[in-house]
């Protein structure tokens, strides 16, 4: 899956109850099936600080409103990141999501809550993804590694749904993202060796 090249993200600005917001829409397409879906997210242009943080910022001479809100220079980046995440999630089959959630239940840092109700499936409450430049760089590195793996073999080592589900579960922490990147590097090395030797997915043709 990828963000559609011929359908660029849409960015809108709107006001509600005296607040200014960004609304971002991102279209993700499945290169194998041709299907796709939109992911939409909104983000306020101002973020609310904790009272202690607001007081500290005022002492430093920063412009903090009486409501403890400041302009968030990363607001658009956050909205774009969340819209991408929502679009990718819409393309991951529910059954696969449930299997991955179940696999991670032993680690509360990966999945904090799993609630099941009759007919409602499973809901995971994941930490918010990091939106720093360093995090975006690591996401790009992970996607490039996955693309390289798929160039060797499109389906044998990791499917797009698996990659995106795992990325969602690692992108809230830089150390976790480094671990995921290391996993992808190991998988790429394995795929390249098996291709060269004609073993694994390349055995008998």
d(CA 97, CA 92): 7
Q: Which residue bears the tokens 């160039």? A: 151
Inter-axis angle of helices 160-168 and 75-90, nearest 10: 140
Residue 24 located in a structural domain: yes
**12-51: per-residue pLDDT in tens?**
999 998 999 999 999 888 766 666 788 899 999 999 999 9
Predicted confidence band at 198 (pLDDT cuts at 50, 70, 90)? Answer: confident
Predicted confidence band at 121 (pLDDT cuts at 50, 70, 90)? Answer: very low
Residue 37 located in a structural domain: yes
Residue 8 located in a structural domain: yes
Across the chain, the runs of DSSP E, i.e. the strands, are 2-3, 10-16, 19-29, 36-44, 46-48, 69-71, 114-117, 121-124
pLDDT of 109: 47
Q: Is the pLDDT of residue 115 over 50?
A: no
CB contact at 8 A, 69 and 47:
yes
Residue 115 located in a structural domain: no
Predicted confidence band at 117 (pLDDT cuts at 50, 70, 90)? Answer: very low
Residue 102 located in a structural domain: no
Q: Is the pLDDT of residue 113 over 60?
A: no
- Count of domains forming the chain: 1
Q: Is the pLDDT of residue 1 over 90?
A: no
pLDDT of 122: 39
| pTM of the model as a whole | 0.47
**74-108: per-residue pLDDT in tens?**
999 999 999 998 888 777 766 566 656 655 555 44
Residue 140 located in a structural domain: no
Q: What's the CA dihedral at 153, 154, 159, 163 to 10 degrees?
A: 80
Q: Which domain holds residue 39?
A: 1-91
Rg of the chain on CA atoms, in Å: 20
Residue 98 located in a structural domain: no
**47-64: per-residue pLDDT in tens?**
999 999 999 999 999 888
Residue 68 located in a structural domain: yes
């Amino acid at each position: 899956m990828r963000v559609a090249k011929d359908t660029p993200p849409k960015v809108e600005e709107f006001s509600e109850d005296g607040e200014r917001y960004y609304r971002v829409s991102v279209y993700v397409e499945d290169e194998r099936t041709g299907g796709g879906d939109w992911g939409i997210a909104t983000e306020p242009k101002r973020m609310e600080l904790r009272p202690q943080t607001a007081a500290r910022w005022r002492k430093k001479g920063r412009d903090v409103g009486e409501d403890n809100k400041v302009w968030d220079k990363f607001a658009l980046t956050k909205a774009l990141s969340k819209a991408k995440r929502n679009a990718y999630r819409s393309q991951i089959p529910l059954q696969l999501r449930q299997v991955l959630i179940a696999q991670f239940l032993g680690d509360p840092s990966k999945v904090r809550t799993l609630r099941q109700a009759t007919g409602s499936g499973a809901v995971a409450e994941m930490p918010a993804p990091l939106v720093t430049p360093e995090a975006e760089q690591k996401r790009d590195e992970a996607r490039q590694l996955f693309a390289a793996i798929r160039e060797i073999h499109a389906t044998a080592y990791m499917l797009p749904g698996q990659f995106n589900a795992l990325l969602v579960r690692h992108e809230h922490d830089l150390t976790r993202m480094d671990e995921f990147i290391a996993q992808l590097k190991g998988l790429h090395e394995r795929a390249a060796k098996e291709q060269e030797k004609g073993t694994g997915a390349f055995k008998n043709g």
